[in-house]
Structure 1
Amino acid sequence: MTSTIVRAGLSGEHWYLADPDAMSGIIVGNSTARPLSDVPTAAARPLTALTPRSLRESLRLVLRQGDTLFHDAAQTSLLRYRVIGAAGRTVVLSDPGHIKSIMTVDPAIAPSATRTSPLRPIIGSQSVLTSIGERHKRQRAMLMPHFHGRAAASYREAIERATSRAIDGWPVGEVIELADLGQQITLDVIMTAIFGIGDDRASTPAEADLRFQVVRLLRRSTWPVATAAQLVNARNPEPVGFTRWALKPVDAAMYRVITERRKSLGGNDILSVLLDARDSSGAALSDDEIRDELMTLVLAGHETTSNTVAWTFERLTRHREQYLRVREQVRADGGADVVESLINESMRSRPVVPIVARELLAPWDFGGQRIDAGTVALVSILLLHHRDEIYSRPFAFDSERFLQTRPSPTTLMPFGGGNRRCLGSALAMAELRTVVTEILRRVDLETHERPGERPRHRNVTMIPNDGGKVRAVAKV
C-alpha cells in the first residue's frame, strides 16, 4: 500500500497520523560510506554564510521537523540543508551504512557537533554532553561508574519508592499528563544519584529549590516564545534573551547547592565526585564547570526518561487489544520480556531524541555523493526507525515487534551511538522497566481511538504535545 506520507510536507498530512499500513517511502540508496581523508581539515570549521533559503529551511526544521524530513527523504537518499546558526551546511543521514561510518570512525575526524547544539547555551560548554576530545573522555570515564552496572542496580530501591509514591497519588477518574508523573519519578531518582538524597537524608532547602526551578524551566521551555528563542540563540554560545532570563533562577539555585556542599565535603554521590575531582594539573573543578556538569545530568538524566514513559502509554492506550494483552501478561508473571519489547517499540516509533549530530572535519563519501569538510551531519534517528527495508509496517505500533528479535544497535538507536552513546542508558532502562511494569500492574487505564498526540520539539527532544494524557479508571 502506498502512503500519503510521501507528500507530508506538501499536503498538510502529518507523519505521526500515518495509516499503520503505510510505507514511509524513504529512498534506499547506496549504503557505502567513508571519509575521503583521515586528516582533519583545520580550516573546515568556519560558519557558512547565510543564503536566502536559510531562514525558510531553519523554520521548517524547527517547526515541522518530522514532516519535513519524511517528505524530503522520499525525494532523495541524502538530504542537504543550509540552516541558521553554527550548523550552516548540513546533511541528514538515515541509512544505517552512512550512520555507521561516522559513528565508528576516529572521533577526531567526526566529533560531536556540540558547538551547533541548541542545548549548549543552556547547559554550558564544559559538560560531558558538550565537550569533545580528551576532555570528553576524562569526563565520561569519571561519570560512567555512577550510571552503569552495579551502580545502576543500586538505584533500584529509589526507583521503586519514587514509582510507588507517584502511583499512590494518581487520581482515579481524572485525566493526567504522564510526562508529569514520569517527571516526578525520574527527577527524584536523578536527585538521589547526583546529590545523595534518599530516605536517610532529606533534601536541603537549596536542593528542594533547585528541583522546583528545574521543573519550572522545563515548563517554560514549552512556551511558544521558547521556539523563537532557540533560533535567536543559534549563533550564540552563551544564552541571550528569553533563554538567559529563564535560566537565571535555575543557575542561582545550582550555585547555592554547590556552595553548600563545598562546606561539607564527603559522600558517594555524583556531586561529591565532582567536588573531589582534579584536573591533570591537580586543580579542582571550578563552580562553573561543576554547574555545567550538574545541569546536564539533572536535565538529560530525567527528561528523556519521563517522556519515554509518556510516549509508551500514549501509544499503548490507543491499541486496546495490545494494552490488555500486555497488562494481563505483566499481572500473570511479571511480563519482563513483553515490557522490554514494549519499551523498545515505544522508543522506535517515538524516539525522544530524534537527531544526533557529528561535525565532518574531513570530506566524506556517502553512497557516491561527496560532502565537503565543515559540514554538519545530522543522524535522523526518527527516519532510521521508520525505514521500510528495516521495519515492516513502520508506522504501526506493535508492542510485540521486539519480542522474538534482539534490537540491533545500528537500526535501533534511542540512546545515540558510538563514543557519545548516552552514559545514563542503563539507569534509564532500569527506570523504564520499573515504571512501565508498575503502571501496568497497578493501574487500569482507559483505552480509546483518538488521534495520536502531535510531537513537539523542545531543544533536542521530541515530546508529546499534550504530555501523554491518560485516564486511570481503577487501581489494583
Structure 2
Amino acid sequence: MRRGRPDPWYARASTGAALDPVLPEPSLAGPLEPGSTGPAAPATGHPNRLRQSLRITADLGGELFAGARRGEAFSFASLLDPKPVVLTRHPEHVRSLFAAPPDVAPSLAGESPVRPILGLSVLTAVGDQHRRRRKLMMPSFHGDAIARYRAEIETATRRHLDRWTTGTPFPLAATTQAITLDVIMSGVFGIDHRAAPEEARLRHVVRQTLRLSVGPLAQLAELLNLDREESVGPQRWIVARLDTAMYAVIAARRAAHEPGARHDILGLLLDVRDEDGAPLSDLELRNELLTLVLAGHETTANSIAWTFERLLRTPAADDRLRDVVRSGEDPDGYLEATITESMRVRPVVPLIGRRVRVPWRLGEVVVPPDSRLLVGILLLHHRDDIYPDPFRFAPERFLGRKPGAHEWLPFGGGTRRCLGAALAMEELRIVVPEIVRRADLVVDDPAPERPVHRNVTMIPGRGGRVRAVALRR
C-alpha cells in the first residue's frame, strides 16, 4: 500500500533554526498610550503591495514561514492597507489582543474578503452589532442543539460512505463537504437530504460555488474585491446566483411560517423581533443564513480532509488510530488527540486579526495606531518551544494534555471564537472514526498535498485525495 511520506509541505519553507523563539517578557505586550512610538516590525517579502499580495495569494504558507525568520513579529506590504500589515506568532501577543476591548482592537472580520459575499452577519459584524447577532444565534449552537444535530451527522455519514467503491482515487473533501452540507442544511432549514425544490436549488448552487472558488479566476476575483462591501466582477455573478437561491428559500418559508412551530435556525430567526417589534428583514436573514451555510460546513469538511491527508502519510499514527477505533477501546483519548493534532498542523483558518486603534507593543516592537495586526495561527502552531518537532504529525503530544487557550487557535479566540466550534468538533468526532471503521484508505500520491489559499481558508490542494482498498458495510 502507498502510505505516503510524512514530511509536511511546510518543511520546505522553514528550518528548525528559522523558527527558534525569541521570547519577550509577557508584560511587553498590549496597548500603549496614544502617541507612543518604538521600533517597527521588521519587513519581509516584496515591498510592492500588489506583488506581495499576489505572492501571499499564491503561497500563503511559504510567505508566512519566510517572514517568521525575521522574528516574533514582522510586517509585509499588502493591498489591504497602505500601512504595513504586522503579523505576530507569540502567545502573549495573542493574549493581549484577545483581552482588549472591541473598541480598542476591533476584529478585522468587518474588513474580511468574505464581506462582499456574506454581507453584514455574525461573522463580519464588529462591536455591538456582533454581540447582538452572536446572542441571537447562540441558542442554535448550545448543548441541546448539538445533541439534536448528532443523529443527522451519523445518518449523513453512513449515507455518503455507502456510496464509496474501491479502487478509484477520489477527493475526500467531496464526501466530507456533502456530509457537513447535509448537517448544516438540516440545522439551518430543518430539512433532510430529500430537500424541497427551493432548498435543493440552494444546495446545488452552494456546491457549484465551492467548485468555482478553487480556480485561478477565483483568486483574481478575490483580489478585485479586496476591501469592498459589495462584490464586483465575476464574484458579483456568483453572489447573484446565491442570492436568487437563498431568497427563494426565505420567501417559501415566510409564506408557510407559523410562530413557534419549528426549531431549526431559520424558524427561530423568523420569530425574532427587534426592540420596535419588527421582524428581521430578508437581507438580514439572507446574510446570517448564507454565513451559516458557507462557513458552517466548508471549514469542517476541510478539517476532516486535512486529518486524513496527514494521517495517511504518518503510518504509525494511522495504524494506532485504526486499532483504537476498530477495537472500540480508547482509554487514552487517541481519537481526540488525533483531531487536535490535525487542526494544529493544518488549521483551516490560518490567520485572524484586529485593527489596533492605539499604539500596540509586541515585545520590542511597537505597532502604529490604526494598523492591521494579524495572528499567524499557522506559525503559532509550529513553535518548537510549545510543540517540539512541530513539523511532525504526532497525536501523542496531546495525550493527557489539553492545548493552551492562546497556543491552539483553530477556532480563533476571545469574544470572536467560532460560534460553531462545538458543532464542528462533534462532526469530527463522529465522521473521522466512522471513516476509519468503514474503510482502509491509502493515498494515490505519497507527496504531501500543497495547501491552497481560498479567501480566509486554507484547504488541501487536491481535496485530500485517497483511494479505498477495502470497505466494510
TM-score by length of 2: 0.91
AA at the equivalent of 2:450: R
Q: Work out whether 1:214 is the aligned partner of 2:206.
A: yes
Point out 4+ residue stretches in structure 1 off by more than 6 angstroms.
none
Alpha-carbon deviation of 1:102? 0.6
* Compared CA separation, residues 326 and 185, structure 1 to 2 (3 A): same
Structural mapping, 1:247-396, within 5 Å: 247-266=239-258, 267-335=262-330, 337-396=333-392
Alpha-carbon deviation of 1:175? 0.8
User: 1:114-136, CA deviations, whole angstroms, 9 ceiling, x for partnerless residues?
Assistant: 23211111111x20001111111
Aligned to 2:217: 225
Q: Work out whether 1:413 is the aligned partner of 2:405.
A: no
Between 329-338 and 206-215, report the one with greater CA deviation: 329-338
- Cα RMSD between the aligned structures? 2.1
Aligned partners of 2:8 and 2:392 also within 8 Å: no
Alpha-carbon deviation of 1:27? 4.3
**Partner Cα separation in structure 2 for residue 335 and residue 440 of structure 1:** 14
Aligned to 2:166: 172
Q: Secondary structure at the match of 1:281?
A: coil
Structural mapping, 1:7-156, within 5 Å: 16-18=10-12, 22=16, 25-30=19-24, 31=26, 32-37=28-33, 53-86=48-81, 88-124=83-119, 126-156=120-150
Aligned to 2:152: 158
Alpha-carbon deviation of 1:325? 1.4
Q: Secondary structure at the match of 2:256?
A: coil
**Partner Cα separation in structure 2 for residue 449 and residue 239 of structure 1:** 38
AA at the equivalent of 1:189: V
**Partner Cα separation in structure 1 for residue 222 and residue 167 of structure 2:** 37
**Partner Cα separation in structure 2 for residue 14 and residue 240 of structure 1:** 36
Specify which of 419, 423, 426 is matched with residue 427 of structure 1: 423
Between 441-450 and 129-138, report the one with greater CA deviation: 441-450
**Partner Cα separation in structure 2 for residue 352 and residue 64 of structure 1:** 15
User: 1:304-353, CA deviations, whole angstroms, 9 ceiling, x for partnerless residues?
Assistant: 10001110001111122221111011111253711110011100000000
* Identity level (%): 47
Between 72-81 and 163-172, report the one with greater CA deviation: 72-81
AA at the equivalent of 2:115: R
Aligned to 2:3: none
AA at the equivalent of 1:60: R
User: 1:436-472, CA deviations, whole angstroms, 9 ceiling, x for partnerless residues?
Assistant: 0101111111267711000000000000000001111
Aligned to 1:446: 442
AA at the equivalent of 2:61: G
Alpha-carbon deviation of 1:96? 0.3
User: 1:129-179, CA deviations, whole angstroms, 9 ceiling, x for partnerless residues?
Assistant: 011111111111111111121211211100000000111111111111111
Alpha-carbon deviation of 1:289? 1.0
Q: Secondary structure at the match of 1:110?
A: coil
**Partner Cα separation in structure 1 for residue 34 and residue 47 of structure 2:** 34
Alpha-carbon deviation of 1:38? 8.7
**Partner Cα separation in structure 1 for residue 31 and residue 383 of structure 2:** 24
* Compared CA separation, residues 23 and 52, structure 1 to 2 (3 A): closer
Alpha-carbon deviation of 1:24? 5.0
Aligned partners of 2:302 and 2:348 also within 8 Å: yes
User: 1:375-410, CA deviations, whole angstroms, 9 ceiling, x for partnerless residues?
Assistant: 011111000000111110000011222112111111
Aligned partners of 1:23 and 1:395 also within 8 Å: no
**Partner Cα separation in structure 2 for residue 405 and residue 29 of structure 1:** 23
User: 1:25-75, CA deviations, whole angstroms, 9 ceiling, x for partnerless residues?
Assistant: 254241420101499xxxxxxxxxxx9621122122221111111111112
Aligned length: 450
Aligned to 1:193: 187
* Compared CA separation, residues 165 and 21, structure 1 to 2 (3 A): farther
Specify which of 178, 183, 187 is matched with residue 184 of structure 1: 178
**Partner Cα separation in structure 2 for residue 14 and residue 72 of structure 1:** 18
Alpha-carbon deviation of 1:262? 0.5
Q: Secondary structure at the match of 2:72?
A: coil
Aligned to 2:395: 399
Aligned partners of 1:274 and 1:285 also within 8 Å: yes
**Partner Cα separation in structure 2 for residue 211 and residue 173 of structure 1:** 29
Aligned partners of 1:17 and 1:452 also within 8 Å: no
Aligned partners of 1:258 and 1:287 also within 8 Å: yes
Unmatched runs of 5 consecutive residues or more in structure 2: 1-6, 36-45
AA at the equivalent of 1:380: G
**Partner Cα separation in structure 2 for residue 262 and residue 334 of structure 1:** 48
Aligned partners of 1:317 and 1:448 also within 8 Å: no
User: 1:415-448, CA deviations, whole angstroms, 9 ceiling, x for partnerless residues?
Assistant: 0001010010000000000000101111111267
Aligned partners of 1:27 and 1:75 also within 8 Å: no
AA at the equivalent of 1:325: R
Aligned partners of 1:27 and 1:74 also within 8 Å: no
AA at the equivalent of 2:186: T
**Partner Cα separation in structure 1 for residue 70 and residue 22 of structure 2:** 10
AA at the equivalent of 1:304: T
**Partner Cα separation in structure 2 for residue 274 and residue 361 of structure 1:** 34
Aligned partners of 1:27 and 1:73 also within 8 Å: no
Aligned to 1:45: none
Aligned partners of 1:352 and 1:461 also within 8 Å: yes
AA at the equivalent of 1:140: R
Between 394-403 and 452-461, report the one with greater CA deviation: 394-403
* Compared CA separation, residues 459 and 437, structure 1 to 2 (3 A): same
**Partner Cα separation in structure 1 for residue 421 and residue 137 of structure 2:** 13
